[in-house]
Amino acid sequence: MRDAIEKICARFGDDYWLKRDSDGEFPHEFHRALASDGWLGVCIPESYGGSGLGISEAAVMMHTIAESGAGFSGASAVHMNIFGLNPVVVYGTDEQKRRMLPPIVTGKEKACFAVTEPNAGLETAKLQTRAERRGDRYIVNGAKIWISTAQVADKMLILTRTAPAEQTRKPTDGLSLFFTALDRRFVEVREIEKMGRKAVDSNQMFIDNLEVPAEDRIGEEGLGFKYIIDGFNPERILVAVEAIGLGRAALKRAAAYAKERVVFGRPIGKNQAIQHPLAECWMELEAAKLVAMKAAWQYDNGVPCGPAANAAKYLGAEAGFKACQTAVMTHGGYGYAKEFHVERYLRESMIARIAPVTPHLILCFIAEKVLGLPKSY
Ligand SMILES: Cc1cc2nc3c(=O)[nH]c(=O)nc-3n(C[C@H](O)[C@H](O)[C@H](O)COP(=O)(O)OP(=O)(O)OC[C@H]3O[C@@H](n4cnc5c(N)ncnc54)[C@H](O)[C@@H]3O)c2cc1C
């Protein structure tokens, strides 16, 4: 798998990604190249056009993409296709799977993942976007924020409230999940200017009386939170390996530069002050990768993977960020120049720290669920 993905990525070199980072164009050619070789369906069952493989294989794929130097510009361009439709795979009806999955596998359609809201943040139970049932359809109104690829997406997996939180047993009840058309007549998509990964847009979404057919609802009404959680752990695992891959790309560049750059009459890489931080980054990336692959194995084998998936996302994001930052410092002033690529890596590495969940909340989760400490949030 690594060889095959590396071969595709080799067609999209550093200059391609540097250009996308400045012009902000979505990497359609890259998306098409992976789709035409069938990679977008890596986790989709064979009966719906995919390869029927697991998160372990998807992790190998996404790590390889990021490590090629495509970083998050490449990984995020296909990320949603890889894991995102997991709730449809697990909870969708046969009719829904036949209708929804093949166009994503072939690359004919792109999908985005619409969960985060401006007034809810990490507190998913506070989502306010409403879906009201009217006969055979729902009318959706509300706002979402940070929704990646919404500029180019045809479809969205959207979490909405169908019953007010006050009327439900638990605050996370009363949420419903839909996979439906992103109909731009009723959804305004406004791009957010951001720090990095310019080629893959992130957006505000304003939804005004969007009609959603009831047959686009995934599973039962009110159980959307339970369904979407199914996608949370695979997403954490994939974001972890993407960050680790990017860290490795940065480290490779830093080591190569440290061997070449001569100051005070010798290569800078001969100094332990340059060597040691790079060696430390290598070990941290390696350790994070093992935790991520353990989490992927657990997920694929039906073993609870929450602690490992969260730990992997935390460790992978931090190790990736540190490697990118160390790479910039190893390059000195040139690390700040775009043509050496590592400044782009550093900006992109911040994404994995913040999304889809922050390090603070992961620490809260581990403290509560693994160590048995009181819930703190
Ligand atoms: C580039 C990018 C792409 C994204 N793409 C998507 C997407 O495609 N779809 C989507 O739905 N979302 C997306 N997101 C949203 C992302 O998942 C959220 O930004 C993230 O979950 C954090 O939520 P928030 O920004 O609302 O932070 P907030 O919830 O406002 O939190 C702000 C800060 O306070 C901290 N904090 C809050 N409560 C506590 C507590 N109890 N204890 C300790 N610390 C606390 C948080 O850790 C955080 O650091 C994306 C974000 C980015 C930056």
Is the shortest distance between the CB of 264 and ligand 1 below 6 Å? no
What three-state secondary structure class fits 145?
strand
Cα-to-centroid distance, 48 and ligand 1 (Å): 33
Cα-to-centroid distance, 213 and ligand 1 (Å): 30
Amino acid making up residue 217: R
- Alpha-carbon distance 247 to 251, whole Å? 6
- Alpha-carbon distance 2 to 242, whole Å? 14
pLDDT at 229: 84
Cα-to-centroid distance, 130 and ligand 1 (Å): 21
| CA-based torsion, 375, 366, 347, 56: positive or negative | negative
Tokens 């490795």: give the residue: 248
What three-state secondary structure class fits 111?
strand
Is the shortest distance between the CB of 213 and ligand 1 below 6 Å? no
Using CA positions, which residue lies closest to atom 43 of ligand 1? 360
* Most informative mutation of 354, 366, 373 for ligand 1 (most atoms within 8 A of CB): 354
Helices (H) and strands (E) in the chain, counts: 12, 10
Position 87 pLDDT exceeds 90? yes
Is the shortest distance between the CB of 361 and ligand 1 below 6 Å? yes
Q: Specify the pairing of strand 111-114 against strand 266-267.
A: unpaired
Alpha-helical runs (H) found in 261-358: 272-300, 306-330, 342-354
pLDDT per residue as tens digits for the range 334-372: 999 999 999 999 999 999 999 999 999 999 999 999 999
Using CA positions, which residue lies closest to atom 40 of ligand 1? 377
Cα-to-centroid distance, 7 and ligand 1 (Å): 35
Is the shortest distance between the CB of 148 and ligand 1 below 6 Å? yes
pTM over 0.85: yes
* Most informative mutation of 21, 145, 146, 205 for ligand 1 (most atoms within 8 A of CB): 146
Is the shortest distance between the CB of 360 and ligand 1 below 6 Å? yes
pLDDT at 343: 98
* Most informative mutation of 128, 202, 358, 366 for ligand 1 (most atoms within 8 A of CB): 358
Is the shortest distance between the CB of 146 and ligand 1 below 6 Å? yes
Cα-to-centroid distance, 158 and ligand 1 (Å): 17
Q: Tell me the sheet residues that pair with 114.
A: 158
Position 314 pLDDT exceeds 90? yes
Cα-to-centroid distance, 261 and ligand 1 (Å): 39
- Tell me how far CA of residue 318 lies from CA of 107, 241, 340, 365, in angstroms: 32, 12, 22, 17
- Rg of the chain taking only CA atoms, in angstroms: 21
pLDDT per residue as tens digits for the range 132-170: 999 999 999 999 999 999 999 999 999 999 999 899 999
Cα-to-centroid distance, 118 and ligand 1 (Å): 10
Is the shortest distance between the CB of 49 and ligand 1 below 6 Å? no
Using CA positions, which residue lies closest to atom 49 of ligand 1? 358
The DSSP output letter for 113 is E
Here the contacts of 89-97 (C-beta below 8 Å, separation 24 or greater) are 89/43, 89/44, 89/45, 89/48, 90/227, 90/230, 91/218, 91/219, 91/227, 91/230, 92/179, 92/218, 92/219, 95/215, 96/179, 96/215, 96/216, 96/218, 97/45, 97/48
Is the shortest distance between the CB of 116 and ligand 1 below 6 Å? yes
pLDDT at 81: 87
pLDDT at 194: 98
DSSP for 183-240?
-TTTEEEEEPP-SS-TTS-EEEEEEEEEEEEGGGEESSTTBHHHHHHHHHHHHHHHHH
Cα-to-centroid distance, 358 and ligand 1 (Å): 6
Confidence band for 230, pLDDT divided at 50, 70 and 90: confident
CB 158 within 8 A of CB 313: no
pLDDT per residue as tens digits for the range 62-84: 999 999 999 999 999 999 988 88
- Alpha-carbon distance 19 to 28, whole Å? 13
- Alpha-carbon distance 371 to 377, whole Å? 15
Question: Counting atoms of ligand 1 from 1, which one is nearest the CA of 364?
Answer: 42
Position 239 pLDDT exceeds 90? yes
Position 11 pLDDT exceeds 90? yes
Is the shortest distance between the CB of 18 and ligand 1 below 6 Å? no
CB 227 within 8 A of CB 160: no
